[in-house]
Structure 1
Amino acid sequence: MVFRSEFPDVPVVDLPIHDAVLGDAARYGERPALVDGVTGECVSYARLAAGVERVAAGLAGAGVRQGDVVALFSPNTIGYPLAFYGATRAGATVTTVSSLATATELAGQLRDSGARWLITVSPFLPTARKAVDLLAGPGGAGPEVVVLDGAEGHRSLADLLAATGPAPAITVDPGRDVAVLPYSSGTTGLPKGVMLTHRSIATNLAQCDALYRPAEGERVLAVLPFFHIYGLAALLNQPLRCGATVVVLPRFDLEQFCRTVEEQRVQALVVAPPIALALAKHPAVDRFDLSSVEYLLCAAAPLDPDLAEACARRLGLPHLLQGYGMTELSPVTHVVSPHDPAPAPGSVGRMVPSTELRVAALDGSDPDLGPGAQGELLIRGPQVMRGYFGRPSDTAAVIDAEGWLHTGDVGYVDERGYLFIVDRVKELIKYKGYQVAPAELEAVLLGHPQIADAAVIGVRDADGTECPKAFVVRAPGGVLSAEEVGAYVAERVAPYKKVRAVEFVEAVPKSPAGKILRRELRDREAARAAGAVVAPRTGGPDGARPAAPEAAH
């Protein structure tokens, strides 16, 4: 059967994203739109809207033209939305870059997206310059770099805001023009640019209204990164669209997080599971007054039901809220409403309007399973991406001829319409909410001269966090250690992509066609976790040994 949202359909929103978000800014006037959670600096809605116009004018004066791609490489700051919406107002597509990206990763995204401009901050400038050098090559010219907080030889946010010319007159085609180009590994493989149009993002915001819409003046704490589609949608686009106040923190530090909640009287927390874990268990939480919190929404990765209950109990909430989506879905399809009196425990919520869901049997025998039956989730609606940038074959592998996006996630729908996520078909690892592609880490590992072959899967650590584990075949005569493997990878990838465990094996299991049989490795790990004794078909003499146990930051 096809599951349909119980809520009435919403009209397609054919507006540029900056208009969809800031269209009511004049009405909100001097109400705080953004507050720096560290310094207390405040930006009103009137100042934000005027600033976006000035930044657009400044970018246009610097040479940004409609259709250009602008890369935004920055932690959360109150300047981030000025740069983001200013770039879209200038007619550009923004490709958001992880603030943890290495120079090599940044250069790869700049190259793949065709970015002509790179907006960053001074602490990230060395990485940005190295990436531009890698991209340009000897004597070449890479993207122009803008440094928001200023650096010698570069335009700053202040320079853009000081522009005296008019904002450019552009005409956006909301259904075709790409507003945001975040990078996702999708259901498998290396990171790909996800083409999200102005229409898909703006309409998804309207779809969420039936279940989740921050109240005017509500204070929302923004610590999840804006470069991630979850943070961009839930902590910038939706709250600013609704007249809420976004309290911005650059990174998660538990004491700073709790202090900001207390001082700013934050009412809404939007987090990922690692933050929920800290709030549930860390003793420091008891030192702060968090009584202002009215609800906590957790998404980006599965949340253990017992952990959710413990976190809710500690914060004095009836329950935690969860949501579901993916970058390719702009990103929301399901959410538990803050006003739901009795959500199904462990559920990621009910379907937003104008959305359809099918549950397909994993063996392909039935594409339309009913309530209670587990299968791969297929989604159709106006929030589905336009496709992967420059990768029509990858797009066709994910979106079928009838417009259904195959998520690679396994779940079921109960009789009340609540969705439960139970597993993943896809090989993507989610480490603390961050996407880690096994193929990317395997490519890095195979670059080591003493590694003959490698495979990577996700395994659970003692806290239940999914972590990358590498199965490594040493080259003949090699004496490589697990610690050396971990250090080698750590030097070449963002911290959250580090290999957290290494096992040396005699061979990587593969199909006759050469595809890595990761399920065999996962099955063996599951058997180990259950205490079973298994014959290590691919086991080596060293067994499982931990890699460098450095946490992502």
Structure 2
Amino acid sequence: MIHTSPLPDIELPRSELSEFVLADAETRGEHPALVDGTTGRVIDYATLRGLVDRVARALAGAGLRAGDVVAVYAPNTVLYPVACYAASRAGATVTTVNALYTPGELIGQLADSGASLLVTISHFLPALASVDLPAGLREVLVLDQAPGYRSLLDLPADPDQPLPTVDPAEDIALLPYSSGTTGTAKGVRLTHSNLTAAIAQMVSAMPIGPEHRVLAVLPFSHVYGFATMMGMGLRAGATIVVLPRFDLEQFLRTIAEQRITVALIAPPIALALAKHPLVDQYDLSSLWRVLSAASPLDPDISALVHRRIGVPVVQAYGMTESSSGCHVPPGETVPPAGSVGVLLPQTECRLVSTATGADVGVGEVGELVVRGPQVMKGYLNRPEETAATLDAEGWLRTGDIGRVDADGWFYIVDRVKELIKYKGYQVAPAELEAVLVGHPQIADAAVVGVPGADGEEVPKAFVVRQPGADGLDDRQVMDFVAERVAPYKKVRAVEFIQTVPRSIAGKILRRELRDAATA
């Protein structure tokens, strides 16, 4: 059975990404577009549009060509959208890099994406000096200032510099990296049409406009932050208040001082809002809407937040491969507890039995398979993995188990995929296993997600010691991994075992390990 959206169809854009997002920027003039939540710096809409146009021409004049890849490796700043939209306007593809990545992880993404230009901040430069950058990378630019490096905003620009014409349906605007349903991170090819469709769908379904002030604390490097905060927020004319990272006290103070009306969060922030004593010290009365996404939110936590701050916490659902959104709570509705909302306009969904492959009915559980204009073009240079995820008719396997009720509300109840969702971030067990077996005293290893002390899923390693390595302890194992991966990927628990259970084909039997860990 194919489920369709109860929301009316919209006119789908057919334009370059930045042109669509900033189409009304000139008429909005001095209305604040971006506010630095730490310094108070303001960039209004007219200035933002001017910066994007000037930097795009500067990049083109500096040799950036249509189809080149620009990597942006930075925390949230008010200049992050300038870098991304200017590169897009110049016909390039943007690959966003998690600001928590180690230099080694950064190098891997730069090489895989074929990036020719890296935009970063001065604070990250010392770490880059310790590694060899890929041969194809022509230059490193900074968003601020650093001796020996050119600043993005200081590049000379010729106002008559021509810019390329973009084919929205074919040209790749964004190349975020996702582990998909299985395996290690892959470049997700999102066209201009994919992203503008996703943004237009969300703008039509969610009542956000110039009167709203949206708090952007989740990373712009994640498709949720890129498409929803940067994309939907700016297209709708809202003011985006930017924070570089999540710190609870700063988060609460910014809501109070900046009179934030919409907070886009992930479940760990909801947990803090529900339980931390600091919350009672701040005036959060300006909040009108709190939207949680990136991983499932416990309905009980949502209810606790609502009771405490008087604002309903609603959930949305999507994935990198769908340019962020598939399901949202429409308008000002408050969905049933645990629901992630309804399908976005022009989005279809089936629920498929993982046992038989047949569609299941209303109220039954199955894997969500979605189709719509926001669904990716495919993975970069991975035709087999693309074919396993996206079929010839455009149906995208999500790897998530869900159900739909008789009123069209969707719920996420489990995951098919082996990925671990730690505080909204994707952690691929295979990547951690590869790090673990690189330890000279580890013979074999497997990683699964288990409930942590706060109920959040955490990565746990099951480790087989090499003969004679009895002195290897759990702290040494965790430290070894922590030195080689981003903080959110760290192993949080270790158990030593005699052998890793595997199938005849050699596949790790993760369910056995997970069941044993939670028994």
* TM-score interval, smaller chain: over 0.9
SS of the equivalent of 1:284 reads: helix
1:128 Cα deviation after fit: 3.1
Query: Counterpart in 2 of 1:428?
Result: 419
Q: Does 1:493 align with 2:488?
A: no
Deviation at 1:240, TM superposition (A): 0.3
Would you say 1:306 and 2:297 are equivalent positions?
A: no
Q: Which runs of 5+ in 1 are unaligned?
A: 529-553
Contact persistence 1:31–1:217 (CA under 8 A): no
SS at match of 1:255: helix
| 1:454–1:473 contact (8 Å) kept in structure 2 | yes
Q: Is 1:483 matched with 2:478?
A: no
Q: In the alignment, which residue of structure 2 is the partner of 1:145? A: 140
Q: Is the 8 A contact 1:54 1:167 kept in 2?
A: no
User: Does structure 2 conserve the Cα–Cα contact (< 8 Å) formed by 1:148 and 1:158?
Assistant: yes
Which residue type is aligned with residue 494 of structure 1?
A
Task: State the shift of 1:98 in Å.
Answer: 0.2
User: In the alignment, is the contact (CA less than 8 A) between 1:61 and 1:165 conserved in 2?
Assistant: no
Shift of 1:233: 1.2
Alpha-carbon spacing, 1:197–1:346, altered in 2? closer, same or farther (3 Å): same
> Closer, same or farther in 2 for the Cα pair 1:103/1:78, shift >3 Å?
same
Matches within 5 A, 1:373-392: 373-392=364-383
Contact 1:90 1:167 in 2 (8 A): no
State the distance in 1 between where 2:449 and 2:74 align.
Answer: 28
Deviations 1:417-445 (A, max 9, x none): 11100100000111000110000000111
Distance in structure 1 (CA, Å) of the matches to 2:183 and 2:138: 27
SS in structure 1 of the partner of residue 339 of structure 2: coil
CA deviation profile, 1:259-286 (whole Å, cap 9, x unmatched): 1111111100000011111111111111
The change in CA–CA distance for 1:473 and 1:423 in structure 2 (over 3 A counts) is same
Q: Report what 1:295 is aligned to.
A: 289
3-state SS in 2 of match to 1:376: strand
2:260 alignment counterpart: 266
Q: Is the 8 A contact 1:104 1:134 kept in 2?
A: no
Residue 171 of structure 1 corresponds to which residue in structure 2?
Answer: 165
Matches within 5 A, 1:8-27: 8-27=8-27
Q: Which amino acid aligns with 1:354?
A: Q
Structure 2 CA distance, aligned partners of 1:289 and 1:168? 49
The superposition leaves residues 118-161 of structure 1 with CA deviations (integer Å, 9 ceiling, x where unpaired) of 00001111233334x1534xxxx74410011011111103313x
Instruction: Tell me how far apart the structure 1 counterparts of residues 18 and 128 of structure 2 sit (CA, whole Å).
Output: 26
Contact kept, 8 Å, 2:98 with 2:222, in 1: the verdict is yes
State the match for 2:195 in structure 1: 201
DSSP 3-state at the match of 1:190? coil
Name the % identity. Answer: 59
Please give the alpha-carbon distance, in whole angstroms, between the structure 2 residues aligned to 1:521 and 1:481.
19
Q: Which residue of 2 aligns with 1:249?
A: 243
Number of residue pairs the alignment of both structures matches: 518
Measure, in 2, the Cα distance between the counterparts of 1:180 and 1:305. 33
- How does the TM-score come out when normalised to structure 1? 0.92
Question: What is the TM-score normalised by the length of structure 2?
Answer: 0.98
Residue in structure 1 matched with residue 337 of structure 2 by the alignment:
345
Q: Which residue of 2 aligns with 1:135?
A: 134
Task: Find the aligned partners of 1:475 and 1:419 in 2 and give their Cα distance.
Answer: 47
SS in 2 for 1:303: coil
Supply the distance in 2 between the matched residues of 1:289 and 1:369 (Cα, whole angstroms).
46
CA apart distance, 1:199: 0.2
- 1:41 maps to 41
Please provide the CA RMSD for this pair: 1.2
Per-residue CA distance 1:4-43 (angstroms, 9 max, x = gap): 1112222332111101100110111110000111111110
- The within-5 A match list for 1:2-401 is 2-131=2-131, 133-136=132-135, 142-160=137-155, 162-317=156-311, 319-340=312-333, 342-364=334-356, 366-401=357-392
SS in 1 for 2:128: helix
Q: Of 429, 438, 460, which aligns to 1:438?
A: 429
Cα distance in 1 for residues equivalent to 2:503 and 2:359: 29
Asked if 1 retains the 8 angstrom alpha-carbon contact of 2:199 and 2:228, the reply is no
Is contact 1:509–1:520 with CA below 8 Å preserved after alignment? Answer: yes
Partners in 2 of 1:142 and 1:484 — Cα distance? 35
Task: Supply the distance in 1 between the matched residues of 2:394 and 2:358 (Cα, whole angstroms).
Answer: 14
Instruction: Give per-residue Cα distances to partners, 1:492-532, cap 9 Å, x unaligned.
Output: 00000000000111111111111111111122223x2xxxx
How far apart in 1 are the matches of 2:480 and 2:435? 9
| Partner AA of 1:449 in structure 2 | P
What is the CA–CA distance in structure 1 between the aligned matches of 2:259 and 2:465, rounded to whole Å? 55
- In 2, Cα distance between the equivalents of 1:520 and 1:152? 54
Q: 1:550 matched to which residue of 2?
A: none
- Residues 397-430 of structure 1: per-residue CA shift (max 9 Å, x gap): 1012222111110010011111100100000111
SS of match in other structure, 1:515: coil
- Letter in structure 2 aligned against 1:382: P
The whole-number CA distance in structure 1 between the counterparts of 2:492 and 2:103 is: 21
Per the TM alignment, residue 489 of structure 1 is displaced from its structure 2 partner at its CA by 0.3
Any gaps of 5 or more consecutive residues in structure 2? none
Report how far residue 165 of structure 1 moved. Answer: 4.1
Residue aligned with 1:349, SS:
strand
Q: Find the aligned partners of 2:331 and 2:424 in 1 and give their Cα distance.
A: 22
2: distance between equivalents of 1:516 and 1:11? 47
Give me the whole-angstrom Cα distance separating, in 2, the residues matched to 1:298 and 1:22. Answer: 25
Deviation at 1:167, TM superposition (A): 4.5
Residue 447, structure 1, aligned to residue 438, structure 2: yes
Q: Distance in 2 between the 1:284 and 1:520 partners? A: 40
Question: Is the 8 Å Cα contact of residues 125 and 147 (structure 1) preserved in structure 2?
Answer: no
* In structure 2, C-alpha distance between the alignment counterparts of 1:129 and 1:181, rounded to whole Å: 25
- Decide whether aligned partners of structure 1 residues 143 and 448 sit closer, same or farther in structure 2, where only a CA change above 3 A counts: farther
- Alpha-carbon deviations, 1:300-344, whole Å to 9, x = none? 011111100111111112x2111000000011010113511x521
Shift of 1:216: 1.6
In structure 1, the residue matched to 2:499 is 507
Query: Which amino acid counterpart does residue 491 of structure 2 have in structure 1?
Result: V
Q: Which whole-Å CA distance do the structure 2 matches of 1:394 and 1:103 have between them? A: 26
Q: Following TM superposition, by how much is the alpha carbon of 1:211 offset from its aligned partner in structure 2, in angstroms?
A: 2.1
DSSP 3-state at the match of 2:43:
strand
- Equivalents in 2 of 1:361, 1:514: separation in Å? 25
Alpha-carbon separation, structure 1, partners of 2:11 and 2:304: 39
Q: CA deviation at 1:169?
A: 2.2
Matched-pair contact (CA < 8 Å) for 1:179–1:197: yes
> What SS does the aligned partner of 1:513 have?
coil
Does structure 2 retain, via aligned residues, the 8 Å contact 1:106–1:128?
no
Mapped contact 1:56–1:87 kept (Cα < 8 A): yes
